[in-house]
Structure 1
Amino acid sequence: MKKVWFLLASMIVILALSACQEKPQPDDRLQAYTDLWNKQKFEKMYDSYLTSSTTDTFKKEDFVKRYKDLYKDLEVDNLKVTYKKPQEDQDFKDKEEVKLPITIEMKTLAGEINYEKEVTLTKEKRDDKEDWYIQWDTTFILPNLEEGDKVRIGSIPAKRGEIFDRNGEPLAVNGQAYEIGVVPQDFNEKDLDKLSKLLETTPEYIQEQMGQSWVKPSHLVPLKKYPLTQKEKVEEIVKIGGVLSPKTEAREYPYAEATAHLIGHLGNMTAEKYEKLKDKGYSKEDRVGIRGLEQLFEEKLRGQSGKSIYIEKEDGETETITEIPVKDGENMTLTIDAEMQKTLYQQMKTEAGTATAIHPKTGEVLSLLSTPSYDPNEFVLGISSSRYKALEENPKKPLLNRFSLAYSPGSTMKGITSTVALNNGLDPNKTFSIPDKQWQKDSSWGDYKVTRVFTNDSSVDLESALKFSDNIYFAQIGLETGDKNFVEGLKKFGFGEEIPFTYPITASQVSNNGKISSEIQLADSAFGQGEILMSVLHLANSYCGIINDGTMMKPILLDSEKSAEWKTELLSKEHAELLKTNFRKVVTEGIAGKAAVKGKAIAGKTGTAEIKSEQGTTGTENGSFVSYDQNNPNMVLAILLEDVAERGGSTHTVEVTKRFYESWK
């Protein structure tokens, strides 16, 4: 019997202890609530944890919607609501209300929000069960947010960095454009067809714009933007009654076609680009750099828009919760001389070709051009589909950036071959007997023969070979140099390696596999055919290395870059002087006589590269000319023009070069 009583007593004690342990504690309730908050389970937060007075004041629909909408609009991420229990147990016995602290942290589109909140928990009895409930108000969402307040998002767009040339001339600036629009009450619909044709759009589009809900009879309805460079066209359009052309902010490219491929332009965000850039703070409405330096330096030029989250009180006062200050994009200054670029463009604009000018002592790139070109202002303001189609289908490919490509250098290669051969023991005074127009080493070459264009000399030394661009002479000294020495010599000029230049340029190659596989290939490569490929930038810079007595500078495009040597000891000073003398004779006594300009001592080397599938067939010809003024050797100019066979070959390029020198300072 005693044993039974003992068991009953023990059970009573256990039940009493269990009842005590199961009694709800406010800190446990708050911990559970913050766990739900971190998971953004707003419905359950409302249903199970809020006081009766709270649910009487705030409807569930409003509570849940406000949290969800604000967190979405503010782009809330990494939400972290924390209640840290004190190390010592707290005594909540006999209390009907307690206050406990929490910390609320989150990342938003305008930066981090971090604040503390004191939470009031009240004991309530529901369905015969007692528990702790939270007295909620709007300050749980954001600090100091009161009922009736509005949460606003402020944005201050960053000014995009501008691009200038070496003399401070603007190449890409935050300028203006004409915005063509109609005032409905002043516009006669009889002019609809005429206006649509001038704007290269449809009458339906104009009517659609004029029919928008916001339009009032006296409002200007925007239709299309035009660059300031198209002033004459705008003046023609605004002759139509009711059509106006106020100026509006726009990215502007003052040198238009002359710098299009180098500078690029802004364009609309595509879905593909947005996927790549959305984590960097871009929106679908942002405009980004398309092509050229606008794209290459997008991050630097773009800057960072200022953003803020603030509360607007009913009386109009505001209180900032968090903000990211605006950071304007960085300006850039190039080594380019815009007026030189423009002058060169004027001489080449109808050609398919490319050109560059480099200072041989510093490596500064003064001009970098691709022609024909396009007006980037059209693209940034919204080019018409018909206009874009015309550019795409133009056989001269004005959208193609040619200065980044590699071409067969033709006979301009002979200056480099001369350097390699001299370094490998060539005696410049040694004469080669070349009596005929064609030559082959022996019968092992089969039907293949090297052909020379001019037969002025039958006893040919280096001077004569350069003056008259003798393919046979250079084929023979190529064979004497040997494939191994020839390839090693070209590697010293930077063949086969990345060009250390700000703008991506195709690397020059000795051949498709980097090797010379036969005597015929070696002979061809020595006079600039074979599989040799060079960009116009590398070609000009290689001649800079010769003219600069064996030191080739790293080509630089940004004013902030320091001049630095890229390749040294390319040839001796003695050999450099010899080649410079011969380059001058190419103009005074040789095949580039049409390059002579009064008051200048033009020197250089011509080149014609025939692009064909096999010997014996006719292909297209590219004509090149690398030149400089020995009276003022602060610029080496290389021009390559495509498809010159019917226009005099490389002589045509020489004539274009001459016109540039005559018109440039």
Structure 2
Amino acid sequence: MLKRQSMLLVAASATSIGILVGCQDQPTAEERLASYSKLWEKQDYDKMYADYVSQTTQKEYGESQFIERTKKLNDTLEIKNISITPGKAPDSDDEKKQLLPVTVKFDTVAGPVSFKKDVPLVYETKKDTDNWYVDWDPSFLFEDFEQADQIKLNTLTAKRGELIDRNEKPLATTGQGFEVGVTAGQLDDTAKKKVAALLDRSTNSIDDALSASWVKDGQFVPLKTFDPSKEAIVKQLEAIKGVSVKETEVRTYPYGEATSHLIGYIGPATAEDVKQSNHKIQAGERVGKRGLEQVFDDELRGQSGTSIEIVKSDQDEPVTVAETKVKDGKDITLTIDGALQQSTYETMNGEPGVATAIDPRTGETRTLVSSPGFDPSEFTLGISQDRLDTLTNDPDQPLLNRFTSAFAPGSTQKPLTASIGLKAGKLDPDKAYSIDGLKWKKDGFNVTRIHETPDPVDLHNALVYSDNIYFAQSTLEVGADTFTDGLQALGYGEKIPFAYPMRASQISNDGTISSDGQLMDTSYGQGQMLTNIVHLASMYEIFLTDGTIYQPTLRADEKTKQVWKQDLISKNDASMIRKDLYDVVHAGYDLPADIPEVAVAGKTGTAELKQAGETKGKENGFFVGYDNDDPTLLVAMMIESVEQEDRGSPYVSGLVAEVLKDAEGR
């Protein structure tokens, strides 16, 4: 009995539901359009087509037009954030047709689009169901868009800004280059070999280009683009039968290798570039890939313009439906002196090393050189894998940017070590130390010096003759805590406030000095101490500014003489160190920096880089110097492997003197 009651309840419930459904009102045209609009906003075109569009729409346009074409346009034009807002419906007694107003808004790659649309709905039977259905046509996509029309997406490339030196000379600019190609069907085997040799590519690669599916006899097939500096090669190519040359715009770098690490180069944007820019960059767009081209890319690149047009089948002029205006890139003037950069690079003669020159009165950077360099146009115009492998495997590492790195500064640290002791009142410059021989040991730690220093072994002679033992002993008296505080006051362990990202200088790997041995080693620029070349030059400003380090600047629009560090040495002590630095060159060991044209003052430094178990290692030679009579340029330079031919750091002093002499003549 209980079982029968349950079955009856279920049956009764089912009957009730059936009666309820049968009595429900059909949705109104407005309600159907509201449901359709929600799907439209979600871009669910499959469901819109299956359940909401009229039979006429399906017959006239089909899935390919309604679904596939619409989805393709959405993807290509990056249509998103669709919003459909209903308007006030007009009064109508028509039970078969309605015309309901909506406002359509959405975003595109070319900007926002907004238009009003009267949506036609028809009441008809589909799949045995009577309901309201949308009479769709292409004008739902864009206002006045018709079946025979076409959508055109235009991109206007922004003009890239130039990088300009302080004398208004271009460091990176857009110039007229040459696109070299061949006419299909007109190049014989002999000519092909000549072309391959001049292009530095294989004949097979030329065959591959000529056999592309789109190539037909008589067509121009591009092979390589050259910058203006390669005009001589272009003329040789142009003289070969079957070769054609077209002028084209290219990014050019007038100072070539000399500014390659500083300025960098541009190249096509990768998928990762596009992603990191939040799609502000388009795939294939030319963007900065290295150097200041990359650092200042947002300003230099500008913003490409984009427009969406309807090409009407019945009129000549297209209709613009969305447009983002092109915004050309900004020209940026640097504090760099291009000619001095070039001459400094040439003075270094391709040897691995790094150099910078700073105006100590303002902090403006005049040169920033990493040697050897590379030809940036090779990368901008497309470098072959063979050529890239050659550069990558070169033992001198021409692709390594050395001025962003940090190196053990050797004895160039000694004047700075002295400044810390003097400032703390823990170094008496007149105190003479009693030091015998070339070696001294403290708690099992050995300190050596190259030569014996003439008596008295005071601060002056210790600087002039670069006495490691003096600095080890005097810095022990200063103490690790005071010395560490002094180094931090000079900017060690701190981000260098510079437009070009640099590695910070370090006292040690963990920023501390944990033993007397480490303290002594650090006092003369060894141990775990590493110093960036820009920071090294900036720190030497204290001897010319009586204790102030200015923030190094690279852009002409930056404020100069911005104090980074101050009160690092007294006026009297700075004057004393200046005399010592002059005597380093003119009263100590014979140095190539002692030239008649310039009264060079400065300090040498040699950092030995020994591997575990080695008794003798590679040596980096340093010199930081300036013209004592006209201290308007402070030059710091490091050359690697100065142990070769026993050149040592004196060799580097001669190179810096040449740079100062060249600057004097400008």
TM-score higher than 0.5: yes
**Structure 1 partner of 2:656:** 657
Alignment CA distance shift 1:62-1:512 (3 Å): closer
Alignment CA distance shift 1:217-1:47 (3 Å): closer
Query: Is 1:81 aligned with 2:79?
Result: no
State the alpha-carbon separation in 1 of the partners of residues 579 and 534 from structure 2. Answer: 23
Q: Alignment length, in residue pairs?
A: 644
List aligned pairs for 1:202-221, cutoff 5 A.
202-221=202-221
State the alpha-carbon separation in 2 of the partners of residues 15 and 182 from structure 1. Answer: 79
* Cα displacement string for residues 147-195 of structure 1 (whole angstroms, at most 9, x for unaligned residues): 3221111111111222111111111112232322223455332222232
Alignment CA distance shift 1:129-1:259 (3 Å): closer
**Structure 2 partner of 1:37:** 40
Alignment CA distance shift 1:465-1:264 (3 Å): same
State the alpha-carbon separation in 1 of the partners of residues 259 and 514 from structure 2. Answer: 41
Query: Is 1:350 aligned with 2:350?
Result: yes
* Cα displacement string for residues 538-570 of structure 1 (whole angstroms, at most 9, x for unaligned residues): 111100122111010011111121121000001
Query: Is 1:535 aligned with 2:538?
Result: no
**Partner SS state of residue 398, structure 1:** coil
* Cα displacement string for residues 318-369 of structure 1 (whole angstroms, at most 9, x for unaligned residues): 1111111111122211111111100100111321100000111111111111
Range moving further from structure 2, 103-112 or 122-131: 122-131
Query: Which residue identity does 1:522 align to in structure 2?
Result: L
State the alpha-carbon separation in 2 of the partners of residues 122 and 450 from structure 1. Answer: 98
Query: Which residue identity does 1:343 align to in structure 2?
Result: S
Residue 227 of structure 1, CA deviation: 2.5
State the alpha-carbon separation in 2 of the partners of residues 434 and 341 from structure 1. Answer: 43
Range moving further from structure 2, 59-68 or 372-381: 59-68
Q: In the alignment, is the contact (CA less than 8 A) between 1:80 and 1:106 conserved in 2?
A: yes
**Structure 1 partner of 2:641:** 643
Q: In the alignment, is the contact (CA less than 8 A) between 2:507 and 2:529 conserved in 1?
A: yes
**Structure 1 partner of 2:229:** 229
Alignment CA distance shift 1:132-1:633 (3 Å): same
Range moving further from structure 2, 592-601 or 99-108: 592-601
State the alpha-carbon separation in 2 of the partners of residues 192 and 15 from structure 1. Answer: 84
Alignment CA distance shift 1:432-1:113 (3 Å): same
* Cα displacement string for residues 215-257 of structure 1 (whole angstroms, at most 9, x for unaligned residues): 4544432111222223344344444333344331111111110
State the alpha-carbon separation in 2 of the partners of residues 15 and 580 from structure 1. Answer: 104
TM-score of the pair, normalised by structure 1: 0.91
Query: Which residue identity does 2:85 align to in structure 1?
Result: T
* Cα displacement string for residues 396-445 of structure 1 (whole angstroms, at most 9, x for unaligned residues): 1111010011111111001101111212322222222223222224xx32
Structure 1 unmatched ranges of 5 or more: 1-13
**Structure 2 partner of 1:290:** 289
Q: In the alignment, is the contact (CA less than 8 A) between 1:115 and 1:143 conserved in 2?
A: yes
List aligned pairs for 1:187-336, cutoff 5 A.
187-277=187-277, 279-314=278-313, 315-336=315-336
State the alpha-carbon separation in 2 of the partners of residues 555 and 643 from structure 1. Answer: 28
Residue 309 of structure 1, CA deviation: 0.9
TM-score of the pair, normalised by structure 2: 0.91
State the alpha-carbon separation in 1 of the partners of residues 434 and 547 from structure 2. Answer: 30
**Partner SS state of residue 357, structure 1:** strand
**Partner SS state of residue 460, structure 1:** coil
Q: In the alignment, is the contact (CA less than 8 A) between 2:448 and 2:469 conserved in 1?
A: yes
* Cα displacement string for residues 567-603 of structure 1 (whole angstroms, at most 9, x for unaligned residues): 0001000011111111111111123632123332111
Q: Percent identity?
A: 42
- The one of 520, 524, 528 equivalent to 1:523 is 520
List aligned pairs for 1:261-660, cutoff 5 A.
261-277=261-277, 279-314=278-313, 315-425=315-425, 426-441=427-442, 444-445=443-444, 448-563=445-560, 564-591=562-589, 593-613=591-611, 617-647=615-645, 648-660=647-659
List aligned pairs for 1:179-190, cutoff 5 A.
179-184=179-184, 186-190=186-190
Query: Which residue identity does 1:300 align to in structure 2?
Result: E
State the alpha-carbon separation in 2 of the partners of residues 471 and 398 from structure 1. Answer: 34
**Structure 2 partner of 1:6:** none
- RMSD over aligned Cα, in angstroms? 2.5
Range moving further from structure 2, 55-64 or 500-509: 55-64
List aligned pairs for 1:34-73, cutoff 5 A.
34-73=37-76
Alignment CA distance shift 1:219-1:127 (3 Å): closer
Q: In the alignment, is the contact (CA less than 8 A) between 1:27 and 1:85 conserved in 2?
A: no
Alignment CA distance shift 1:97-1:218 (3 Å): closer
Alignment CA distance shift 1:512-1:589 (3 Å): same
* Cα displacement string for residues 452-476 of structure 1 (whole angstroms, at most 9, x for unaligned residues): 1122404212111111111111111
**Partner SS state of residue 454, structure 1:** coil
State the alpha-carbon separation in 2 of the partners of residues 169 and 420 from structure 1. Answer: 41
**Partner SS state of residue 403, structure 2:** helix
Structure 2 unmatched ranges of 5 or more: 1-16
Residue 492 of structure 1, CA deviation: 1.0
State the alpha-carbon separation in 2 of the partners of residues 18 and 385 from structure 1. Answer: 72
